Each structure stands twice: as C-alpha cells, then as structure tokens.
C-alpha cells in the first residue's frame, strides 16, 4: 500500500460518508503516515460554544477539497498514507481538566508511533493536551495564527480555557516561546496580561497592523527565522481570519486576515520541520453559509500539503 | 410602589434595553414579590450547546409579550411587584458542580427572603441547584413538562448533567417523587434507566402518547391530583414541545406538545400552591426564526400569571 | 379570451418572471374578472417591519401553486379571467395617511369597474384604504382571520396603524360590525380597548380557545350566519395562524390556527357573496424557510377559488 | 456476531463519523440483516433540487436517534444486524434513466442476498429502480405516505421523474395497485391525470381530508386491509408531512400530516410483511433549522423498528 | 466616581442585560461625560427596513467588545464616565418629521448639558434631528463614511428621508459643507443630484475608487485637512463598508470599505475636535450571521476611543 | 422609442414585478438592442445544485441596481433599448444534451436578429449552447472570470457538464483559445487535465496568484491584448470571486477575487468588441444573506454598461 485509497474521492462530492478529505476511515494507525483526527470539544470556551460540532462540519465540507495543489501541483496523497482515525472518545465532558486527559490519552499512541497528527477542533484549549501527548524532549517551536495570543491565565475558575493553552505549554516546558510566532493578534481586551505574557516570555507577536504594514512576505521571513529548523507545530485558530470569512467561531474579532493572505502565509512556510498541526474554533451553529467550515477544510488541506512534504 | 413600573412597556416593542417582559431591572430584591432571573449556563448539556444564550434571547423576544391575559383578563403586574434581577454571575464555568454552586448561592437569598423566582435557563441541570437554594423543609411537588424524565444517572463523568437533576433532587430529599408529574415524555433512549427511575420512585410519567389519547383536560386533572395543595414547582423544558415549535433546543425529539396544548395545560394548573418555576433549554444558535425564544417568553408570561395569582 | 392565458403555468416552477400564481401581467383591468394586486407597504406596523416585501415573496412562492383544487376539482382559471396588475405605485411613503391615499386611488378604478380584487399586503393598515376605494353603498360584511381584532385606536401618533383599520372602517360606515366575524383572536394586550370595541360594536369575536373548543365546523356555521348573504370581504392576516406556520410576520402570537384548520375554514365559506379579499402581514425578512410566503400564496389560491365561484 | 456493534452509539452525539444511526459502516452486506443505504440523487425533481444532500444530512442528524423505542421498549439492534453500506456510487448523473441504472445495479445484490434495505433519498424517482432491483416474482404491495400520488406520466421530456415512479412500477408489473395505499395526498395540480391513474388502477388514495376526518386509527385499519399479508414496501416522502415539520423538501404542500400522526401511523403498521422501505425528498439546502433531517432520521428509526420485527 | 462602573464587563460575555459595551444603564446624564444612546427608527428608509432593531442588536453584540485598545493600549473607561441612557422614546412613529421631533427633543438636553453623544441608529435620517438638537453656533464639520452622499432632495413625498440628512443640515446652517468629507461613496443612481449637491456645496467627496487608488493614509490626511480643528461630528453608515462585512443594512452597495480600512481610517482621525458621533443603518433582519452588528459594535468602541481622548 | 421605458425604475425598490434591473418585460425582441434573459438550469453541476433559481433571485435583487454609473456617469438606458425576454422555456429537463438544445433554440433568433444577449444562469454548462446559437463565422474571443477553467472532459457520463463548456466550444470551432483569457483560476483538483487543456490549447490562464502579484491593471492590459479587437464574449462565473462575497454557488473555492477587483477588472475592459455576456452559477439556496444575488445583479449592470457602449 504505497499511498492512500482514493475510491471515496472519485465519488460525486455530495456522496459518501464524510471523512476528512474523503480519506479512508482507519481504526488502526499502523498503516498511516499522517493521522487526521477530530477533537469535538468546546468545554474551554469563554464566549460562544459550538466548536464541539467543528470536526463533523469540517469533515462534511471537506468533501469539496481535492488532491492536486493548483500552485505546486503537489499531491500529498501520492507521497504518504493519510487516514482519518475518528474523534477523541470522551469519557469526561464536564470537568475541563479531565476532558483534557481524554485528549491526551487519545494522542499519546499517535506520537509514540511517530505519526504526524493533523487535528480539527474543538476549541483552542485542546492544543495543550495534544502537546502533553507529544511530550517532546525539547520544547517545540510553533507558528500560531490567531486573533488572540491564548496566553492568558485564570478565567472563571480555570487555568485551562481556550485563552490559556500556550501559557500552560510554556510553563510545562512543552513550548519554546523563543521559537514561537503569533500572527494576526488583535481585538480589545479587559486586561493586557496575555499580550504581556507573550512578549515577556519571548514570543514574537505579530499584531494584524504589523502584518498589514509589512506584508505577508516579510512575515513569512520572520516566521521562518523565529522557528528555525527545529521541530515545529502549526496551530491555526480560524478567528485569526476576519469573521467575514469565518463567522462560525466563538470569539470573533473584526479586522483579521483574508483567506488569500492566510493561504499565502501557509504556503510560505513550506519546508519547515513540521511535526503536527491543528485547525480549531470552528463553531457550525454560527456559520449559516457554511463558509467557515469550507475555509477550515481547505486550510487543513493546505496544512496537509506542508506536513506531507517530508515524505516526498 | 404598589406595583410594577411599566414605563418600558409603553415603548414600541423594538425599543429599550431588554429585561424580561420589560419589567424594571432591580439590583435589590427587597421591593419585589416575584423575581425574574436568568441562568446563562449550558455546561450540563449532553448534545447541542447554546442555552447559555437563552436568557438573553428570551429577554429580547419577551418585548413582544404584554400585560393583560386574553382569556382571563388577569394582569399579573396589577397585583404584585415583578422585577428582573439579572443573571447568575458565574465565577466558575468549567466544572459542572462548581458552576452549580454559583447558581445555588445566587438563589439562596431569593428564597430566604420569601420571594418567588421565575428563571430562564440555561440547560435543565440548573434546576437542581435552584432546589438546593430553596432547601425546602419538606420535599416539594413538581409539574415537569419535558421530552425527557431527566432522572438519568451518570453520563460521561458527571451525575449532574441536564439529564439528571430530578434524580439528584429526589436523592437529596428536595423533591417528592410521589408529588411529581412528568408530561410529554418521549424519544428513544440507549438505556431505560431514567424511565425506570421515575416510575420506580413513584413519579407519574405521562408519555406523549397517553397525553394525546386522554387529552389535555384529563392530564390537567391528573396533575392537580398528583401535586395536591402542597408547595409545587413548575419546570418547563422547551423540548417538551414539538421541535417544530421550539427548534432552538439541545436535544429535540419529534412528536411533542403543541403550543396550544401547552398553553391549555398551563392554564389548567391555575390556583395550585406555586413556589417558583423555570423555562429551560432555549438554545438561540439553533433558532433561526426566533420562534423558540418567542414561545419561551410567552410561556414565561403564562407561568408568571400562575405565580401571581397568590397576590390577588 | 374566455379564460386566462396559462402559458406561464406550463413552465417549470423555477422559471419565469413571477406574477401571482403565474397569471398574465396586465396593465389594463378591462379584460379581467378578478384582479390580483400587491400593496408593498409596512408603514403602519407597530413592531417588526418587512411586509413591504410581502407581495414580492408571495409572487415568488406562488409559482408553487397550481390550478385544479384537489378537494373540489374546481379550476378558477377555467371560469373567469384572472390577471396581476402589479403593485400600488406609492408616491408617498413617509406619512401614513398619505400612503393610504395612494392605496385608495389605486383601487378606486378596480371597484368602479366592478372587478373583484384579491390583494397581497403589506401590513393590515392597507385594508382600510381598500374599503375607502370600494365605497360601498351599504356597510359590508367581513370574515376576518387574525390574532388581533385590529380595532384599536390611536397608537404613537396615528389612528391608522395596522392595529386600527376595522375601527376606522366601522366609524366611516364602510364596515358593518354586526356582519363581521373575527376568528383566531388571542395574545395578551396592554389595554383591552380593541377587544372591547369589537364586542361593543357588535362584532362576533371568536377567540382561539372558542375556535378550538367548538371546532372548525361550528365556527364555519357561525361565520355564515353572521355575514349572511350580503356583500362580504375576506381579510386574512397570516398571524391568525400559529407563528410556527407563518413566522414571517410582524406581530406573531403563539397558539394560533394550523394550516389544516385555516384551509378547512376557508373551504367552509364557499358560496358566500364575496366582493374581495386580501392576505396581509407577510414579512419575508423574518421568514428564513420561506414557509410563510408558501402558506400565504396557497391561501391566496384558496381565496381565489372562493371569489371565482360567482363566475361559474 | 449476534447483533450490531454499538460502540459508536456510546459516543457523545456530536462525535464520530456519521453513519445512519451510528451503526457500523460495512463494505460487505454478508453479515447484515438490514441494510441502510443512501441514494444521493435529485435528478428527477420537478421544482426545487437539493435532495442529493439528503443522505448526508440524515446521517448527520441521525446521531440524535437512539436504540430503545419509548412506546414498545423494542430495540431493533438487539434482534438483527444493521449496517450502513454507504451511497450508490453514481457513474451517470446527467441522464435520468442512466442514473436509475446505477441505482438498480447497487440494490440488485442486496435483494439477491435476501437482505432488507432501508434507503434514504434522494428524490422519489429512486424508488422505481429500487423496485427494479428487487424484481419481485409477484407485484408487491405498498404503503405510500406522500402529498402526491407520484403516478403522473411524462414531464418535460421524461417518464421517470419523481412524479412518476409508481405509475412506472405498476406498468412494469412490480407494484400491485390493488395492494397499494397512498396517504396524505393533497395540493392543487395543473392536471388530474395522476390522481386519476391512481384511482383507476385501483390504488386506495387517502387524501388528507379523509385522513383528518376519519382519524389515524381508521386509516391504519384501511392500510392493513389494503396491503394484507403479502410482501409490502414502505415509501415515505417527507412532503407527506406538513412543510412546517419538513420545510426542507422539493415540492412542499401546506396542510399535511403532523409528526405525531405520522408516528402513530407507522406504529400502527407493525407486524406487516415488510420487505423494505425508504425515506425520500429531504433537501437540506431548504432546511435552515435542520428539523427536516431530524424528522427523517427519526422516521427511519421507526421504520427500522418495523423492519426488524421479523427478526425477533 | 472617577470612571465607569465595570462590573458588567466582568461577567461572561453571554451574561447580563445588554447595554452598549456593558456600561451602566443611566436614567440621568448628570454623572456622565459620554452618553451612549439608541435611536430605534427606520421610518426614513427608501428600500429595506429593519434598522429600528439596530440599537438592540448592537447592544447585544457589543458584549463582545472590551476595554483596552490593542494598538494604543488606551482604555476609554479609565478617563471618562460612559453610560447608556437607553433609546429615544418615540411618541410619533408614522409621520417622518414628527418622529424626528422626538429625536430632537431627546438629544437637546444631552447637548445642552455639554455631554458628548455617541448614538446607534436607526436609519441615517436620524442624524439631522441630532444636529438640530445640537444647534451649534457655527456650522460644524463632519467626517462621513458611507456609500451614499445622503444629500438627495425629495423622495416619495418627503425631504427628510435617509437620503437627505446632510442636504437639510447644510440648508439649515447646521453643517459646514466646506468642512465635510464623505468617504466611500459609490453605487449607481437614477439621478446624480445628490452627488452634484455635495460637490457644488463644497463637500469633499471621496469615491471608493479614489480611496483605493490613494490609500487610507492619504485619505486620512485629506480628512484632517478638510475638517481642521473646529468642532467635528463623525457619522458612520455601515453601508460604507462592503456588504460582505455588513450585509444587514438597507441599501447595500458592493465594492465598499473593508473592516481593516475602516479601522485604520478611524484610528487616523485621532485627536480631532470631536463633538459626537453615530453608527447607523444596521438592519438585523438582514444579518443572519450577526457580523453587521459585531462590526457596528466594534466601530462604536473605536469611535468611543476617539471621543474619549479629550478627557485624558 | 429612443431608449428604455423606465417607469418601473421609478418605483420604490421593493415594488413591482421583478424583471432584470426593472427594464420592461418584452415578448418580442424586435424593439430591443440588448436582450436580458434567464437560463434557469442546473442540470450540469457536479456538486451543489440550486442555480436553476439564479435568474429569479438575480431579477429580484436587481431592483437594487440603478441607471447612472458612479464612475463614468454613463447611463446605458439612455443609449440603447434594453428589455427582459424572460427565461428559456425548457421542454427537456432530464437529459443534459437535450436541455442544451432548448437553450440553443431560445438564443438562435436573438443572435439571428443581431441582438446582444446578456444572460443570467443557471450553471456554466449553459454557455456552450449559447455559443452554438451564436454560430459565429469565426471562433470568438472570450474574457472568462472563474475559479475553474471549465475545460475538463467527461464527468460521470457526460462531456457537457459545467466543467466542460469551453473545451467543447474550442472543439466545435466556436471559441478561439488564443483569444481566450481565464482569470481567477484556483483550487485543488483530482486531475490536472482541465488546466492542461487550457494551457495546451493556447488559452491565457491567469491563476489568482498571478492576478494578485501583478495587480488588476496588468491583468486588464493582458486581457485586452489577448482578445484584441475581434468579437469577444464575457463569461463571469460568480465563483471567480471569493465565496465570502458569493457563497451562493455550487463549487466555491476560497481565495478568490474581491468585488472591488472584479469591478475594476470589468471597467478596464471597456471599449472592446463585445458581442454578449453572461453571469452564471448563482445558487440562491446557498445564499442566506442574499449577497451573491446582489453581487451578480450589480455585475450584470456593469457588463450591461460595457455592452451598451457600442450604442453611444
């Protein structure tokens, strides 16, 4: 089996049981190189819920994606084996930290087997237990696209909300702030503690104003320099984009990235030492046109192309 | 202040800052007889979230309600003082039991002062901490309109989900199952433990098929007989109605009550010894036409009429 | 030209420029027996606007209607000439009374030529200027289906809002209250003056509770007795139906008529001395599923069948 | 393997890759008793398209269904093996008859192996090729719930549209009109040929007015008498219900069945000699609240209960 | 009381009775520096209505805004007292000029007390009576962001529609056309009289093509030069933005400003002599995703930052 | 009759029976210079249907367009006679090629009479039969705005889907690939055959990345050079724009043209030798906000301005 079974992709796009990008559903990870998974959890949000339905709608809309990239002519399914392993089977839904344990346990064998995961959230709190599952020997680098730095501290009784994963990850020695770049940051706050934490810990914070002023090319250069050639994770919160592109999200902030900018940014990150990625914060109940899920599915495909390059 | 300030009610219905039924917003309960409150919490749901926005949308749509009942010509605002005391100010959102503590603490002074609360949820898990706040000397009676008995036990790590409040209330000696009637029950289940608990504990369970076969009049008689003249609470889950009337809810089950049946049922419960009530499980993100919130607001008005009768 | 050109009706239902029921668009009324017209006006509403788009959406959805009635096998287009004469061309939109003048002027030649109009609103305030245009020698009778009696007096500076047309019509000697029946009335009010006016003037007011208790057959008998064999107008406000059927309306009241009841009621009124009719208060911006327009279009067809019977 | 793998059903209802009712996805029918399948095809519609997305949304919403029936306590998954075999893999989409060939070929091995199919459409034209695949020795009986008799002839160039399947089936000797009952029929037509064909061929046509007048019990008796104990198919077009319950459909007709009536009707058909069934005409693009898919999924579960009874 | 009570802002964003940006609701303006108010009126529109619900939805969505600006770190609530004084209580809704009198009377005491108003519309016709209430000694300057110049004359019987406020304001000596700049103008017209009036009266009209060609920086320079250091009002019609950002508006014109351009433009106007502002033409019934209200609420916050700078 | 009857355009924009841009409905083309027509057909789509309702919604929304262009002050209705001739009256809907015959037959007299057609689709497959109706002596040139080259070959049984029209047109000698430019191309594909066909046949393919890098001015120059001064057709698929502007379409691809870019591009094509045009792929069921239809209607107006220039 040199590549992926593509029989589903040959169906009309309204057909079939929707897996991510219509790759095979796999109950075992053994035969896979890249593992697609869903994390249907929104117990960490601070405002609007709904991201628990994100994996389902991204899978649904991902039937619209296809194989050969129009810019590079690269086909990720030609070079590696990609499968959908389903969703984290939560045993605990009502205590944030215990739900995170479910996530951690689900991803541990994935990392232990050396597979590369690409996950669909779920709210952004899920990235911290994914990092825990990874348990890297050295803190990893990260390109983080988002409206928020997600380095806040306690909120309404928890330090593990979707506003906090990267503060926790730095504290736990999982993430190297000096090899972290946050892009698209914006929106008023009631406290500046998150912004300060990011800056003081050494993260490179690219507010949207800087992004716009310097242009996507300069920010790509900056990102490549920041993360270098060490192992790097890509975390994309769809609220990094302007809510006109991705209205279906929990904490929208106007004035964000366009899809063209986001696509250019991702493509500019080709060739880095990618070890995994996620697309989070898709909340289908707030997405009447379905465009948020379409954007998320297409960006997952773009990230898959990045991850698959190491198998060429 | 013999009655309720009605200046807001004289505005056009698209005007003004929306309190429940446009009663005054009150920071103190001292001058009130009946207390309207919101419990913006959906941390106990098992399927679709969104009920955290229920109080806000019910308030919003309740501007469409008015004062004089068209059947009875009763005006609740003439006989008692009604105010909106705002929402439970949650300090804990990420651990179900701790959130319930917030609810309990909010309602304790309401009951301690002898006020009658009428609450808007929020998911149905909120009724248990309201009962805890009430801390009745004797277990109370209840008329419970719902598609589900909400007497299930543990689910995904908690015994306090929105499927469990009345099992917990019986166990805690807060609710008298023999003075409890559950109306509108229906929908397949993966286990029958909830149905069995209700029946075995002595609750009167009126499945929708019995309701339809015998008619609303017979069920009213039954309900009056079950609860008798002791203190009784009215808990109305909007999923008791058919989802065509109330699509904006977390666990819809087709084949439910109509609005006309529900209105007739409520009006038939006039004169009982009411000590409070709630309308729960309105999830605005699933309510594109707004009808769920309109139904909930109108039913709150009908329940207010029931509660206000003791002040005539 | 013995009947109506039906070439449009032979197109697929998604085709063609939408006139009411796909009858010919006519710039002259001379060749017509029954005149279909739109009154795109919502300047008389008290709550939610949007009925100005009612005629357009009813026309649009009326492509779904067809010719032969499934109960009676009657085809109205076989016995008389039906045309769509377009919309009232308003010259005044910003002063309620002047807008009503536009309506009156538009319908005067219709009545003067002895044509029978069937109009689509617009809000219910439009019926009063239609009655003015009719200028009947004797006050007419009316079957009025609605949640509201529309016999209120002044509201926020005008006596001609959509809550007032039938009070004005009685005062002006256009409508005979003793030959008027109002069916479906319900919903709380801040004052009972409208209900009282209707009752004291001699109108027969059938609240929804009476309708339900006695059944549609009894109400049909009652209506036929009230209006007798004199000239009678049929005015149908879609908020007479439950908002679950017709959410797209300005002042929805839960607990109304079903479509089956409304269809039965209309069919029971066959053979009366009909002189015109209208379907009002369709507000498309509040109709995400389009069902309100579908209901309104189908009820227009049913009313057309009633009006056409005199040409058999 | 005595029953069905239910591990998916134990997940939270927003989790997992959606198969029908979360039964296992099966690439072989060998181990199954009842086969669930999708027919994502709307090339036979006459008005609004979109039913090609019906299987996908019914699968999606069917995660809300569960196992134990609340009236009978029957659990179909306890007595037989149920699997989802995916969708008809169309090779031809642009010529109606050739698409029907695809459907026929897909179902032939199902019937050949003696399995009982329960399909989700797709438009109603799909039932004819399913009958062709069945190729019964004797014409079969049918209970058909629909607003339309679907016994029309040619329309815009084809005799195989969704208005024609049962006329074709009678002509082909697949369906016995004398053992066919059509329930819920209504709505005006431009020609009465379909109604006449049904009546003249001997089908029992129950217009909605008769249904309402006589009540669901009498119609159940009638249906049981008409179909007798011979092999019988159940075909349910969601437009048989009132569009307020099932707005997401191609040719809605107001004034239809309620969900409670439909549920009662189906339950009254228990114990007949069922050989298969389908639920058709769900068009998700016209279903903003998702209720149509919820109704369809729940009715599929009810039909599954009927089909499974033979395995008790 | 040195600043604004922020207890509401500390609640979860789905909680509480929604005032603008969750500032206190004030029945008196005495303790305030900046007054937030709603003008729920759409009696001046020429096309789609609904802006009467603008204040309510902007308030609702403004719970998503927060205090500290991410670019400047400025917190307007630290330097001045901001309160929500509710909505204009209309006594006249059915005659455009009389409704404008209601608006004028509401704002007169605000200006008389030297307070700075920031209003949410309502259609754009409301700005003229606000200017009348201001009754400046000298004609004021204005930065006006809009797709339309709103300097048209009579339309369908009135000179006071939402297409006319600034022509009326110039004629009344309230607005200095030479100190007025209109930005974002575009869209075909049936007459060019409005464009001509603006140009001939001396207003600086920046069509969107000029805006795009020269860039936001150049237009900021131009605006600052045009209005100079005299008293200046900021009037922002959300249809100045592209309707993809603000679909919920009455007269959308494609090809408008982006949110990023609008934010940059507003921030570039810091330090001018601001005396008030408004955000108008939000029509919630046309805003299925809610993004229009989110944009409007966020832009109100940005304008608040401009207005508050004089209190530093 | 020197120009177009504009009486409809003087009505309020919510009034009247909607023709394209409110021009007169014409049953004959004799008096017209430019012919507006609808092609309500989506039988050629490969993914999401609904474009059969495109003409109706574009007509509906086109009431928002007006006469005088804001950049050029050109009024197309002053210089030529424009009429709406309704929709292609399909006699065949269920066999793609036969439906195309209907389209061809409808347009043949239009071209035979030397009229210039501007059509609203329908899916993109309609352009091929329009070209067949034109039957040009020489292959024509084309400016083609789209996300897809539409030069694919066979798909699921047909060579005439909406992915194939321009391959068929080149093969049939109707379209000159060397005088064809395709702008906005993007999105992954499962095969590269379409891209290759376009390039190998000599079409100028401008992927969106080139468009963005070089800017609209450069692409305009390129387009003018490619098509030269020979007869040229303009075909605009709304999926050429980013789906955030035009979500209501069958095969959306993120990262497309903005409305401002599209408007600039069209305006830059002024003065070419235009012989017709179309706007296709508007699918209203996927357009909850209506913006797609608004964009399409406005772009039709812009194209009308291009076409009308030859009559100056």
Over range E134-158, report the average pLDDT: 97
Distance CA A241, CA A295 (A): 10
Farthest-apart Cα atoms in chain F, separation: 54
Over range E236-241, report the average pLDDT: 98
Strands (E), D7-165: 34-39, 82-87, 116-121, 140-145
Contact between F21 and F80 (Cβ < 8 Å): no
Residue A95 known to bind ligand = no
Mention every residue, 6+ apart, whose C-beta is less than 8 A from residue A112: none
Residue F175: its H or E element: strand F175-185
Distance CA E71, CA F100 (A): 57
Q: Which chains, if any, share at least 3 CB pairs under 8 A with chain E?
A: A, B, C, F
Contact C50 E53 (CB under 8 A): no
Does the CB of D56 have a partner CB in chain B at under 8 Å? Answer: no
Enter the tokens of residue A138: 């050295």
Q: What is the pLDDT of residues A91-110, one digit of tens each?
A: 999 999 999 999 999 999 99
Distance CA E56, CA E61 (A): 9
How much is the pLDDT for D3? Answer: 57
Contact between D32 and D113 (Cβ < 8 Å): no
Q: Which of residues 84-143 of C touch F (CB under 8 A)?
A: 84, 86-90, 93
Q: Which of residues 254-293 of F touch D (CB under 8 A)?
A: 285-286, 288
How much is the pLDDT for F172? Answer: 98
* Average per-residue pLDDT for chain A: 96
Q: Which of E246, E289, E292 to mutate to test the interface with A (most CBs of A within 10 A)?
A: E289
Q: What is the pLDDT of residues E249-277, one digit of tens each?
A: 999 999 999 999 999 999 999 999 999 99
Over range B19-47, report the average pLDDT: 96
Contact between F40 and F54 (Cβ < 8 Å): yes
For residue D183, give the 3-state DSSP assignment. Answer: strand
For the cut 70, the answer to whether the pLDDT of residue F143 exceeds it is: yes
- Which of F6, F13, F294 has the CB atom closest to E243's CB atom? F294
Q: What is the pLDDT of residues C245-272, one digit of tens each?
A: 999 999 999 999 999 999 999 999 999 9
Q: Among D268-282, E1-15, F135-149, which is the least confidently predicted range?
A: E1-15
For the cut 50, the answer to whether the pLDDT of residue F47 exceeds it is: yes
Distance CA E58, CA E120 (A): 8
Residue D239 known to bind ligand = yes
Contact between B126 and B278 (Cβ < 8 Å): yes
Contact between F226 and F204 (Cβ < 8 Å): yes
How much is the pLDDT for E83? Answer: 96
B-to-E residue pairs, Cβ atoms closer than 8 angstroms:
63
Does the CB of E230 have a partner CB in chain A at under 8 Å? Answer: no
For the cut 80, the answer to whether the pLDDT of residue C3 exceeds it is: no
Does the CB of F11 have a partner CB in chain E at under 8 Å? Answer: no
- The chain B residue lying nearest C149, using CA atoms, is B70
Number of Cα atoms under 13 Å in the Cβ half of residue E23: 27
Does the CB of D60 have a partner CB in chain A at under 8 Å? Answer: yes
Tell me which DSSP letter residue B272 carries.
S
Enter the tokens of residue C254: 């839960």
How much is the pLDDT for A1? Answer: 46
Helices assigned H by DSSP within F51-192 = 54-61, 76-79, 96-112, 127-134, 165-171
* Average per-residue pLDDT for chain F: 97
Return binding residues of F for Mn(2+): 124, 146, 148, 150, 237, 239
For the cut 60, the answer to whether the pLDDT of residue E2 exceeds it is: no
- The chain A residue lying nearest D25, using CA atoms, is A17
Contact B44 A94 (CB under 8 A): yes
For the cut 50, the answer to whether the pLDDT of residue F2 exceeds it is: no
Tell me which DSSP letter residue A240 carries.
G
Q: Closest by alpha carbon to F145, among F228, F249, F233?
A: F233
Distance CA B36, CA B44 (A): 22
For the cut 70, the answer to whether the pLDDT of residue C1 exceeds it is: no
Contact between A52 and A162 (Cβ < 8 Å): no
Strands (E), C13-172: 34-39, 82-87, 116-121, 140-145
E243: chain F residues, CB-CB within 8 Å: 291, 294
Q: What is the pLDDT of residues F91-106, one digit of tens each?
A: 999 999 999 999 999 9
Question: Residue C27 CB: number of other CB atoms within 10 A?
Answer: 7
Q: pLDDT-derived band of residue B259, with 50, 70 and 90 as boundaries? A: very high
How much is the pLDDT for C7? Answer: 85
Residue A168, min C-alpha distance to chain F (Å): 34
Residue E152, min C-alpha distance to chain F (Å): 15
Return binding residues of F: 124, 146, 148, 150, 237, 239
A193: chain E residues, CB-CB within 8 Å: none
For the cut 80, the answer to whether the pLDDT of residue C94 exceeds it is: yes
Does the CB of F195 have a partner CB in chain A at under 8 Å? Answer: yes
Rg (CA), chain E: 18
Q: Among A23-27, A234-238, B159-163, B218-222, which is the least confidently predicted range?
A: A23-27
Residue D237 known to bind ligand = yes
Residue C121, min C-alpha distance to chain F (Å): 11
Q: Which of A156, A244, A250, A291 to mutate to test the interface with E (most CBs of E within 10 A)?
A: A244
Q: Which chains, if any, share at least 3 CB pairs under 8 A with chain B?
A: A, C, D, E
Residue C13, min C-alpha distance to chain D (Å): 6
Number of Cα atoms under 13 Å in the Cβ half of residue F309: 18
Over range C194-218, report the average pLDDT: 98
For the cut 70, the answer to whether the pLDDT of residue B1 exceeds it is: no
How much is the pLDDT for B284? Answer: 98
Over range B221-246, report the average pLDDT: 98
For residue E215, give the 3-state DSSP assignment. Answer: coil
E5: chain B residues, CB-CB within 8 Å: none
Sheet of E274-280, strand order: E82-87, E34-39, E116-121, E274-280, E232-237, E140-145, E175-185, E204-207
Over range B205-229, report the average pLDDT: 98
Does the CB of F47 have a partner CB in chain A at under 8 Å? Answer: yes
The pLDDT profile of chain D, 312 residues, written as one tens digit per residue, is 445 788 888 899 999 999 999 999 998 999 999 999 999 999 999 999 999 999 999 999 999 999 999 999 999 999 999 999 999 999 999 999 999 999 999 999 999 999 999 999 999 999 999 999 999 999 999 999 999 999 999 999 999 999 999 999 999 999 999 999 999 999 999 999 999 999 999 999 999 999 999 999 999 999 999 999 999 999 999 999 999 999 999 999 999 999 999 999 999 999 999 999 999 999 999 999 999 999 999 999 999 999 999 999
Distance CA B84, CA B22 (A): 8
Q: Which of D42, D158, D255, D288 to mutate to test the interface with C (most CBs of C within 10 A)?
A: D255
Contact B68 C191 (CB under 8 A): yes
E87: chain B residues, CB-CB within 8 Å: 11, 15-17
Over range F63-72, report the average pLDDT: 96
Q: What are phi and psi of C8, to 5 degrees?
A: -65, -35
Q: How far is CA A263 from CA A295, A305, E208, F153, in A?
A: 10, 12, 27, 29
B157: chain D residues, CB-CB within 8 Å: none
How much is the pLDDT for D18? Answer: 95
- The chain E residue lying nearest C100, using CA atoms, is E94
Q: How do the domains of chain F map onto residue ranges?
A: 8-311
Cα E273 from chain centroid (whole Å)? 16
How much is the pLDDT for F3? Answer: 67
- The chain B residue lying nearest A44, using CA atoms, is B94
Strands (E), F199-266: 204-207, 232-237
Sheet of F175-185, strand order: F82-87, F34-39, F116-121, F274-280, F232-237, F140-145, F175-185, F204-207
Contact C192 B73 (CB under 8 A): yes
Contact between C295 and C246 (Cβ < 8 Å): yes
**Residue keyed to tokens 């065949």:** F92
Residue C12, min C-alpha distance to chain D (Å): 7
Tell me which DSSP letter residue F143 carries.
E
B263: chain C residues, CB-CB within 8 Å: 254-255
For residue A35, give the 3-state DSSP assignment. Answer: strand
Torsion sign across C-alpha atoms C232, C234, C235, C240: positive
Residue D278 known to bind ligand = no
For the cut 90, the answer to whether the pLDDT of residue B6 exceeds it is: no
Q: What is the pLDDT of residues C24-35, one digit of tens each?
A: 999 899 999 999
F295: chain E residues, CB-CB within 8 Å: 254
Q: Closest by alpha carbon to D261, among C294, B251, C289, B254?
A: B254
- Which of C64, C73, C259 has the CB atom closest to D255's CB atom? C259
Q: pLDDT-derived band of residue F1, with 50, 70 and 90 as boundaries? A: very low
Q: How far is CA C45 from CA B124, B295, C50, C123, in A?
A: 37, 21, 9, 6
Q: How far is CA F121 from CA C10, E115, F95, F174, F300, in A?
A: 20, 55, 18, 20, 11
Q: Closest by alpha carbon to A202, among A170, A225, A169, A160?
A: A170
Total number of residues shown for chain C: 312
Contact between C220 and C274 (Cβ < 8 Å): no
Q: pTM for the full model?
A: 0.98
How much is the pLDDT for D8? Answer: 86
B199: chain D residues, CB-CB within 8 Å: none
A23: chain F residues, CB-CB within 8 Å: none
Which CATH class for the E8-311 domain?
alpha beta
Over range C181-204, report the average pLDDT: 97
How much is the pLDDT for C311? Answer: 95
For residue E297, give the 3-state DSSP assignment. Answer: helix
B294: chain C residues, CB-CB within 8 Å: 243, 252, 254
Does the CB of D17 have a partner CB in chain A at under 8 Å? Answer: yes
Does the CB of D295 have a partner CB in chain B at under 8 Å? Answer: yes
How much is the pLDDT for E5? Answer: 85
As beta bridge partners, residue A120 has A38, A279
Contact F48 D44 (CB under 8 A): no
Sheet of B274-280, strand order: B82-87, B34-39, B116-121, B274-280, B232-237, B140-145, B175-185, B204-207
Contact D242 C260 (CB under 8 A): yes
């Amino acid at each position: 089996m040199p590549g992926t079974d593509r029989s589903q992709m040959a169906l009309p796009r309204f057909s079939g049981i929707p897996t991510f990008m219509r790759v095979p559903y796999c109950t075992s990870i053994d035969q896979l190189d890249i593992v697609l998974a869903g994390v249907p959890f929104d117990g960490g949000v601070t405002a609007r819920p709904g991201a628990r339905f994100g994996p389902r709608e991204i899978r649904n809309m991902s039937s619209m994606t296809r194989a050969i990239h129009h810019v590079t002519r690269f086909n990720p399914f030609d070079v590696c084996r990609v499968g959908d392993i389903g969703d984290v089977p939560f045993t605990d839904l009502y205590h944030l930290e215990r739900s995170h344990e479910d996530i951690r346990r689900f991803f541990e064998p994935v990392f232990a087997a050396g597979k590369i995961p690409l996950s669909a959230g779920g709210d952004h709190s899920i990235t911290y237990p994914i990092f825990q599952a990874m348990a890297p020997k050295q803190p990893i680098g990260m390109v983080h696209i988002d409206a928020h730095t997600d380095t806040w501290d306690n909120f309404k009784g928890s330090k593990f909300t979707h506003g906090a994963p990267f503060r926790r990850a730095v504290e736990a020695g999982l993430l190297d702030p000096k090899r972290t770049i946050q892009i698209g940051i914006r929106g008023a706050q009631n406290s500046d503690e998150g912004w300060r934490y990011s800056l003081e810990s050494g993260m490179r914070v690219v507010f949207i104003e800087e992004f716009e002023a310097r242009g996507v090319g300069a920010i790509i250069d900056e990102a490549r320099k920041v993360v270098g050639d060490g192992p790097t994770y890509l975390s994309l919160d769809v609220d990094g984009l302007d809510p006109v592109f991705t209205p279906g999200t929990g904490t929208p902030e106007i004035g964000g990235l366009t899809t063209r900018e986001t696509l250019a940014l991702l493509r500019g990150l080709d060739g880095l030492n990618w070890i995994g990625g996620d697309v989070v914060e898709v909340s289908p109940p707030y997405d009447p046109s379905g465009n948020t899920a379409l954007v998320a599915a297409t960006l997952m495909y773009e990230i898959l192309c990045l991850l698959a390059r190491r198998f060429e």
